[in-house]
Structure 1
Amino acid sequence: MFRAPGCCELDQQKGEQIRLHFQPAARALALAAAMALAACSGKGEQPEGGGPGGGRGGPVQVGFVVVRQTSVPLVTELAGRTVAYQSSEVRPQVSGVIQKRFFKEGTIVQRGQPLYQIDPSLYRAAVNEASANVASARATAEAARVRADRFRPLAEIEAVSKQDYTDAVASQRQAEASIAQNRAQLETARVNLRFTTVPAPITGRIGRSIFTVGALVTTSQADPLATIQQLDPIFVDIQQSAADLLQLRRRMAAGGVLPANATVRLKLEDGSDYGATGVVEFSEVVVDQQTGTVTLRARFPNPNGLLLPGMFVRAVFAQAIETNAFLVPQQAVSRDPQGNATVWLVGQNNKVQQRKVETVRTEGADWVVTGGLRAGDKVITQGTANLSDNASVKPVPANTPQQPKPPSPEQLKQQQKAKGKGD
Structure 2
Amino acid sequence: MSIAAYDAYARQLETLVTDVAAGRWSRVADDVTHALNGQASAELRRMVSRADRRASGSFFTTGGVRQSYEQLLTRSTASVRSRVIWDPTCGGGDLLIAGTAQFLLGATPAETLTVWNRRVRGHDLHNPFVTVARMRLVLAVLERHRAVGSDAPLTEQRWRNAFPQVQVGDGLNALRQVSNSRGFGGQLLLNPPYGMDAALPGCTWSTGKTSLAATFTAQASAAMAPGGKLFAVLPDVLRSGSRYRAWRGQLTERLVLEEIRPHGLFDDHTDVDVFLLSAVRRAGGHPGAAAWWPPSAATTNRSIADHFRVGVGPVVDNRDPHDGPEVPYLTARELPGQGKMDLPLRRRRFDGRLLNPPFVVMRRTSRPGQGAKGGARGTGILIQGDQPVAVDNHLIVAEPLTGGAARCQELLEVLDGPKVVHWLDERIRCRHLTVTVVRSLPWD
TM over 0.5: no
How high is the TM-score relative to the length of structure 1?
0.22
- The structure in which a higher percent of residues are helix is 2
Whose radius of gyration is greater, 1 or 2?
1
- The structure in which a higher percent of residues are strand is 1
Q: Which has the higher contact order (CA 8 A, sep 6+)?
A: 1
